[in-house]
């Protein structure tokens, strides 16, 4: 009806030779104000919209800048065939070099970084959880790459649905908790922004329900919610191939219409925390669960490794647990999937053949295929298995390790460490950390962990491998991260599922794993979790009451827990450090 109204006004203006919305028009001030508000919003947000072109000039799509130093969001299927470097056009008419940073194949998200400026125009992030059906929505981008001057095409419509779940389309791609809009989304719009009426970024346009022939918009488009991307933001900046979460259990609707556990892996954290077959899922991540789709929607917006609250009911009794989520896919599955030459199809499987090659999107007229990246940017891409671009992971590692050494620099103390103090039961202890082994003595009790023979063990018994964990502790603080088998930046997560957001470093050695937690505000080390094996319950060590020992800040208290119960508190009173034996370096 709105379109009919404006068409009628246009015809009347022609008949009477009067301007449509001129000074003497009888259009209500509210209509003119609404028109001006739309125009102002479009002018304000258009500079942040990115036109993306592949290095071979045979593909592309859209994106949106979200940081002044050039980080931009787009779809995985836009960059899957674009190469490690690409060209990006902004509405200032200029082409910029860009490099791939990270990909999320399951969520169809990718992060790229535009180069050459530190003051790029950016979109303001909104809150997609506040979006309601009927809200106005702007979809912006370059459908069919019609904007040869890089001025984005704008389509205007309403939000048709929220919390939509889109099943995988011939791949393991899932659109969870996404926003459905009737704003026109066509090939080339992929990866572009969805703005609300205030010009806030609420989603990244991705899939569309297209006609079988011609791939023409049918009025049903889907955008990945910006709140999902907020959860993944630091994971995307890690340069890794990012994976989504699995509970280690499947759910189904029971005869009483409740959502019950249908299957569960016995090595999952959910099982270790007490969840069993037939238990009813009441809430997850603080949101009530009333259907299987709703559970999949909520689970799908979180990265693997996060710890989140889950409430289940058994025999009319509710129980709340904090569950560490596991990976949805294996590393091999992710690596194999991103090697697919066709990327991810826009179409639903029943509307088109998902094995059909994607329609190439040509470069705009007047813009030849982009050349190879300038020599000065080639160092910004570092290949490594399991990573999209290891260069960006190295940057994050360096940021946290440098902050750690600024607080506690023991890089010149790689010899034996001797810590003495009292346990929370009042007993004295002596803890010795050395290359050959770790020893703990308290009263008549002596515990040893050899690092030369045998595998790390649960010593003292019932701690989850405290002595082996403290070996990791000594290596990290003494600047010996190169002695870990693997060492990388993971991303960020809420500490223990209920505390502040922390940055996470992961280290592995001899099959053991440690996860190190840094406060995002001041980058102080809050503690770490240590796993004797990948699926074991961790020995959790949290640092409290930092003191100055040997001229450096050092945790004055180690709070140790295992299997959700306190094990001991070690109050450190003295720290003796020795230089490394030159014959034992």
d(CA 189, CA 78): 10
Print the domain residue range for 299: 245-327
> Which residue, chain included where needed, has tokens 């010149």?
412
Pairing of strands 85-89, 71-74: unpaired
d(CA 298, CA 1): 36
Give the chain's residues under pLDDT 50.
1-2, 4-18, 212-213, 340-365, 585
Write down which residue in 327, 357, 375 finishes a domain: 327
Show Cβ contacts of residue 119 under 8 Å, excluding neighbours closer than 6 positions.
Answer: 68
Q: 334 lies in a domain?
A: no
Query: Are 51 and 41 found together in one domain?
Result: no
Across 380-427, the runs of DSSP E, i.e. the strands, are 417-423
Query: Are 500 and 530 found together in one domain?
Result: yes
d(CA 223, CA 203): 5
Taking a C-beta distance cutoff of 8 angstroms, is the pair 547, 554 a contact?
A: yes
Query: Are 367 and 399 found together in one domain?
Result: no
Question: Of 482, 481, 401, 435, which Cα lies nearest the Cα of 580?
Answer: 435
d(CA 466, CA 443): 18
Q: 464 lies in a domain?
A: yes
Q: 438 lies in a domain?
A: yes
Show Cβ contacts of residue 365 under 8 Å, excluding neighbours closer than 6 positions.
Answer: 148
Tell me, yes or no, if 540 is annotated catalytic: no
Q: What is the pLDDT of residue 215?
A: 56
Compute the CA torsion angle 13, 19, 21, 25 (nearest 10 deg).
Answer: -80
Residue 321: give its domain's CATH number.
Answer: 2.30.42.10
Query: Are 379 and 509 found together in one domain?
Result: no
Identified catalytic residue from 46, 62, 102, 108 = 108
Tell me, yes or no, if 408 is annotated catalytic: no
Query: Are 234 and 262 found together in one domain?
Result: no
Query: Are 15 and 69 found together in one domain?
Result: no
Write down which residue in 305, 327, 349 finishes a domain: 327
The token pair at 417 is 């460490």
Residue 411: give its domain's CATH number.
Answer: 2.50.20
Compute the CA torsion angle 225, 226, 230, 234 (nearest 10 deg).
Answer: 100
Burial category of 494 from C-beta neighbours within 10 Å (exposed 0-12, middle 13-18, buried 19 and up): middle
d(CA 304, CA 281): 20
Query: Are 199 and 139 found together in one domain?
Result: yes
Structural domains in the chain (count)? 4
Q: 571 lies in a domain?
A: yes
The per-residue b/e assignment along 428-448, b for 16 or more CB within 10 angstroms, e otherwise, is ebebbbbbeebbbebeeeebe
Tell me, yes or no, if 398 is annotated catalytic: no
End-to-end CA distance of the chain: 79
Q: 332 lies in a domain?
A: no
Identified catalytic residue from 77, 235, 337, 471 = 77
3-state helix, strand, coil in the chain (%, to 5): 20, 40, 40
Residue 52: give its domain's CATH number.
Answer: 2.40.10.120
Q: 569 lies in a domain?
A: yes
Residue 334 gets the label, from left (phi > 0), alpha (psi -120 to 50) or beta, of alpha
Show Cβ contacts of residue 176 under 8 Å, excluding neighbours closer than 6 positions.
Answer: 107, 165, 166, 228, 296, 297, 298, 299, 300, 301
Identified catalytic residue from 190, 478, 492, 540 = 190
d(CA 317, CA 330): 35
Query: Are 429 and 361 found together in one domain?
Result: no
Query: Are 81 and 187 found together in one domain?
Result: yes
Query: Are 54 and 172 found together in one domain?
Result: yes
Taking a C-beta distance cutoff of 8 angstroms, is the pair 549, 574 a contact?
A: yes
Show Cβ contacts of residue 255 under 8 Å, excluding neighbours closer than 6 positions.
Answer: none
Q: 189 lies in a domain?
A: yes
Distance of CA 71 to the CA centre of its chain: 14
Query: Are 371 and 491 found together in one domain?
Result: no
Query: Are 67 and 151 found together in one domain?
Result: yes
């Amino acid at each position: 009806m709105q379109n009919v109204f404006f068409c009628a006004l246009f015809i009347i203006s022609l008949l009477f030779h009067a301007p449509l919305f001129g000074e003497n028009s009888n259009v209500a001030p509210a209509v003119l104000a609404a028109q001006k508000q739309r125009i102002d919003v479009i002018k304000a947000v258009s500079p942040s919209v990115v036109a993306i072109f592949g290095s071979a000039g045979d593909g592309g799509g859209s994106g949106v800048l979200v940081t002044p130093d050039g980080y931009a969001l787009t779809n995985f299927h836009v960059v899957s065939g674009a190469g490690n470097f690409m060209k990006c056009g902004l509405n200032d008419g200029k082409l910029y070099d860009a490099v791939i940073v990270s990909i999320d194949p399951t969520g169809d998200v990718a992060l790229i970084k535009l180069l050459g400026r530190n003051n790029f125009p950016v979109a303001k992030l909104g809150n997609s959880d506040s979006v309601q059906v009927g809200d106005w929505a702007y979809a912006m981008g370059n459908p069919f790459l019609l904007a040869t001057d890089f001025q984005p095409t704008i389509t205007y419509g309403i939000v048709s649905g929220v919390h939509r779940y889109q099943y995988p389309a011939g791949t393991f791609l899932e659109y969870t908790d996404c926003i459905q809009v009737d704003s026109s989304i066509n090939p080339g719009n992929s990866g572009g922004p969805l703005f609300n009426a205030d010009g806030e970024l609420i989603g990244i346009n991705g899939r569309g329900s297209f006609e079988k022939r011609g791939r023409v918009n049918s009025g049903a488009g889907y955008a990945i919610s910006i709140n999902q991307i907020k959860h993944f933001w630091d994971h995307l900046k890690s340069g890794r191939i990012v994976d989504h979460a699995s509970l280690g259990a499947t759910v189904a609707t029971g005869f009483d219409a409740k959502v019950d556990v249908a299957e569960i892996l016995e090595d999952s954290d959910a099982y270790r925390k007490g969840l069993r077959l037939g238990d009813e899922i009441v809430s997850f991540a603080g949101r009530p669960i009333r259907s299987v789709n709703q559970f999949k929607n909520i689970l799908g917006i979180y990265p693997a490794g996060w710890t989140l609250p889950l409430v289940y009911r058994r025999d009319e009794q509710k129980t709340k647990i904090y569950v560490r989520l596991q990976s949805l896919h294996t590393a091999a599955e992710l690596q194999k999937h991103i090697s697919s030459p066709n990327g991810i199809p826009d179409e639903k499987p029943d509307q088109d053949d998902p094995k059909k090659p994607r329609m190439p999107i040509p470069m705009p007229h007047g813009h030849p295929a982009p050349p190879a990246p300038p020599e000065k940017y080639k160092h910004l891409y570092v290949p490594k298995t399991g990573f999209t671009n290891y260069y960006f992971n190295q940057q994050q590692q360096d940021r946290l390790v440098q902050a750690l050494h600024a607080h506690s620099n023991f890089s010149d103390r790689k010899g034996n460490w001797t810590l003495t103090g009292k346990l929370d039961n009042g007993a004295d202890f002596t803890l010795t950390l050395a290359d050959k082994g770790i020893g703990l003595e308290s009263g008549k009790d002596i515990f040893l962990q050899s690092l030369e023979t045998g595998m790390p063990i649960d010593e003292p018994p019932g701690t989850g491998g405290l002595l082996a964990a403290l070996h990791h502790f000594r290596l990290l603080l003494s600047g010996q991260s190169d002695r870990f088998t693997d060492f990388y930046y993971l991303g960020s997560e809420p500490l223990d599922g209920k505390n502040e957001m922390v940055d996470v470093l992961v280290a592995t050695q001899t099959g053991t794993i440690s996860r190190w937690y840094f406060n995002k505000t001041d980058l102080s080390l809050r503690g770490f979790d240590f796993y004797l094996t990948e699926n074991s319950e961790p020995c959790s060590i949290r640092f409290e009451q930092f003191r100055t020992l040997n001229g450096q800040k050092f945790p004055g208290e180690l709070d140790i827990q295992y299997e959700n119960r306190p094990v001991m508190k070690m109050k450190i009173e003295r720290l003796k450090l020795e230089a490394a034996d030159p014959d034992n370096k």
